[in-house]
């Protein structure tokens, strides 16, 4: 913290590096887009989703894994 700066006044995201999206991140973005949530995520980030919206994304991932459409183990490893 620099001289004269007040605690807690650091801007959000200051000093954060953009990380490369993982295959799981890309899958979540794809499903969010299908649900019409991609614009909300771009504006407020993942933390701006309600628990119902997040749960819906997770539920669809689980459904697809059960149907064998995606391999969760492979997504988690990468």
Q: Which domain holds residue 37?
A: 23-77
Which pair of structure tokens corresponds to residue 25? 């991140």
Residue 24's CB is within 10 A of a number of other CB atoms, namely 16
Would you say residue 12 has pLDDT above 70?
no
34 part of a folded domain: yes
Per-residue pLDDT, averaged over 51-65, amounts to 96
Per-residue pLDDT, averaged over 55-71, amounts to 93
pLDDT in tens, 16-54: 677 888 899 999 999 999 999 999 999 999 999 999 999
What is the average pLDDT value for the chain, to the nearest integer?
Answer: 84
Domain count for the chain:
1
In Å, what is the CA distance from 66 to each residue of 17, 46, 53, 63, 78? Answer: 35, 25, 20, 5, 20
Per-residue pLDDT, averaged over 3-19, amounts to 59
């Amino acid at each position: 913290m620099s001289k004269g700066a007040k605690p807690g006044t650091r801007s959000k995201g200051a000093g954060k590096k953009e990380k490369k999206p993982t295959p799981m991140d890309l899958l979540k973005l794809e499903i969010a887009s299908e649900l019409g949530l991609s614009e909300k995520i771009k504006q407020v980030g993942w933390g701006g989703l309600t628990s119902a919206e997040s749960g819906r994304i997770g539920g669809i991932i689980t459904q697809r894994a059960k149907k064998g459409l995606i391999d969760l183990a492979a997504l988690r490893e990468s």
